[in-house]
Structure 1
């Protein structure tokens, strides 16, 4: 076929780049942009860790204390601010009591531990000289002299380490104050803060963001309460084993295991190994092996019974995913990353699934709409905003739920993020 002037039509040249290569290139540059954004976000979080970490701790404390605040409002008829202050003071008193009990036990048992450690060291020297190694007295003294020289040469490092510890203690003290301050105001006005944050979103996406946030908040609450229970079981189990073996410092070991167990899988093993070391130093390798068996038994109970049964559908992270997340968090941010990696992953998993059409908590329903606050949503009438907040406070005080029922102990008016 030719045109009116007799010239053949132009045919497009074939694209030298295959379509598959173009598709891969498109995915590649998008992935690079996402990775760059994640790297920038991690850098910003690391730069502001003195603020970010206390706020993250405050969120965990808020989701933990929110049921207590609601109970005080409902049964004791306390105002919201008084209920929040009472719950926070009670938590501080509980933690201070545990630390005081552990400190007294350390003071009372350190002398016994020292004597047992000296006895164990003497037995070790006897085994080195009379056991299979048959080391002479001169060789043992040479080894001990090398250890003393190494300790003396590292004196300067110890001084610099002490200075860094002083700076760390200052950061911890400041972070503790920030966390307590944020927790108090999250408990008092959490719903208003969430309303302001949702108000920053585009108007068409506010409702979906609010509903996703509700479900993420329920997941965070389920994880926090479950992890406390799991940590308590770990501490009691290892503490009973240490008491059965009549080890010194049973209470401090149990408290250490309790706080260490907030890092899933890894924390209880690391802190439990300290109990094994105490058994080895004070009573020998037989007691150490028994203590090791107790620690492994408790870990099997946690990993195969408690974690799947208690967390279940609310968190629904595979154990392999939990282990990888904890490892990644520890590599990126050390102990802080290991502590917050799993709750962050569980929250992100729930939110992303909801935004993609998979609701893990359909029983929450969608009756609880975006919380209204005049300052957070200036386009709304102030009278409507005030009436909505008053109704929300009344429902929280009565403990009423939505027509769809609650989930994980939440009510429809109280399952928004940072909500008392």
Structure 2
């Protein structure tokens, strides 16, 4: 019988349908993973925080092990010392922020009022009622529906029991990561086929090295941002220097958005409290600090292994915020850095020529022995 060519599906349509089907499957899988991650956030977030702390504390454990200190004693010393330092730092930052919160809110309201007046009576001549309504909705989102920032934060926070339970889970996971990291990593590698195990092993170690680098760099960059901008605020005589520096330190853990929000808040307070000249000078200081951070500090501390495209950083933060709120925004970039390092390692080993005889995979790049033996 003659072939009915009119009934044949064009190749372009078949290829498009295949690609669309694959995209739908991938999108469905990502959606399911997002729903599961959001549902298990009370468990996944403490585990992720424990991984970050383990990546930060593991080098100190290795230093003590090289000095022939028993592993349990080394882990105990590092935990006590590290948690004391981190706890003291966070206590200082949070205390300064909480004490200055009422005055900071008053300055924020005054700044919003000044902006509303300028938008309504200035050259733009916008409708004052609409502009004020938009800013009031923004303030209610930031400070809470009750109008008090402290009350709003307490209304949206978890209960004390949940916080305590998650803190205990973080400490529990952290202890086991520091004491039995190699065994945990070996257990995770068992289901991997033997032909791929070495490749996955190297990829995991490189991903962990990227996590160590990211954690150190983020803390260093946040400290430099807070100190530099805080000194600028104090020298210019802007009120609430310590609370604003604390806000800068906390917000710096969220790349791009955090620095923008904290710097904008400091500049707004300077405009209202000290006038436009001081505000413009502080704006220049904030821009200079951000430029030093982006072009000097991050390349210096992170290096090539953790370098991420700004678009990827922004999108990952947005997705993390949608999935898990503030915790998701904080953890999105380190997760992306880990995945980026691991995938790059797998692709580099997969692209080796068939005649390669130097082993099943290339040795990982030079790194401190801490992440490979303490956490993973």
Report the TM-score, using the length of structure 2 for normalisation: 0.77
Once the two structures are overlaid, the 10-residue window that deviates more, 198-207 or 100-109, is 100-109
Q: Is the 8 A contact 2:47 2:173 kept in 1?
A: yes
Cα pair 2:202 2:364 within 8 Å, conserved: no
The one of 267, 271, 296 equivalent to 1:276 is 267
Aligned: 1:233 with 2:224: yes
Comparing 200-209 and 163-172, the one that deviates more: 163-172
The verdict on how the C-alpha distance between 1:313 and 1:100 changes in structure 2, with shifts beyond 3 A counting, is closer
Work out which of the residue numbers 30, 42, 45 in structure 1 matches 2:37: 45
Deviation at 1:37, TM superposition (A): 1.3
Correspondent of 1:69 among 61, 79, 86 = 61
* SS of residue paired to 1:415: helix
In the alignment, which residue of structure 1 is the partner of 2:177?
186
Contact 2:101/2:243 (CA < 8 Å) preserved in 1?
no
Question: How many Å apart are 1:319 and its aligned residue?
Answer: 2.3
Task: Measure the CA separation in 2 of the matches of 1:330 and 1:283.
Answer: 34
In structure 2, relative to structure 1, the CA distance for the partners of 1:90 and 1:272 (3 Å cut) is farther
| Pairing 1:32–2:38 present | no
User: Whose radius of gyration is greater, 1 or 2?
Assistant: 1
Q: CA deviation at 1:278?
A: 3.4
Question: Residue deviations 1:133-188, cap 9 Å, x none?
Answer: 9xxxxxxxxx9xxx9xx99xx65999995774353554333222211221111011
What are the Cα deviations for residues 68-99 of structure 1, in whole angstroms up to 9, with x where unaligned?
Answer: 11112223x32212212222222221133224
Aligned residues: 347
For 1:133-282, what aligned pairs fall within 5 Å after superposition? 164-165=155-156, 167-282=158-273
Displacement after TM superposition at 1:405 (Å): 8.3
Q: Supply the distance in 2 between the matched residues of 1:107 and 1:39 (Cα, whole angstroms).
A: 37
**Any gaps of 5 or more consecutive residues in structure 1?**
1-9, 134-142, 361-365, 370-402
1:301 pairs with 2:292: yes
Q: CA deviation at 1:44?
A: 0.6
Alignment CA distance shift 1:239-1:368 (3 Å)? farther
Match of 1:92 in 2: 83
Check 1:27–1:102 CA distance in 2 against 1; reply closer, same or farther (3 A cut). Answer: closer
CA RMSD of aligned residues (A): 4.1
Take 1:57 and 1:367, find their aligned partners in 2: how far apart are those partners?
Answer: 35
Q: TM-score, normalised by structure 1?
A: 0.70
Matches within 5 A, 1:236-385: 236-357=227-348
Query: For the Cα contact (< 8 Å) 1:218–1:410, is it kept in 2?
Result: no
The C-alpha deviation readout for 1:198-242, integer Å capped at 9, x for no partner, is: 113334332222121111111111111111221121111111101
Cα distance change, pair 160–235 in 1 and its aligned pair in 2 (3 A): closer
In structure 2, runs of 5+ residues without a counterpart are 123-131, 352-357
2:375 equivalent in structure 1: 418
Runs of 4+ with deviation above 4 angstroms: 10-15, 102-111, 154-163, 366-369, 403-406
2:366 paired residue number: 407
Instruction: Name the SS of the counterpart of 2:305 in structure 1.
Output: helix
Residues 58/242 of structure 1: CA separation in 2 closer, same or farther (3 Å cut)? same
How many angstroms apart in 1 are the aligned matches of 2:170 and 2:317?
A: 23
How far apart, CA to CA, are the structure 1 residues paired with 2:348 and 2:95?
Answer: 54
CA gap 1:41/1:72 in 2 versus in 1, 3 angstroms: same
Change (3 A) 1:100 1:157: closer
Contact kept, 8 Å, 2:177 with 2:374, in 1: the verdict is: no
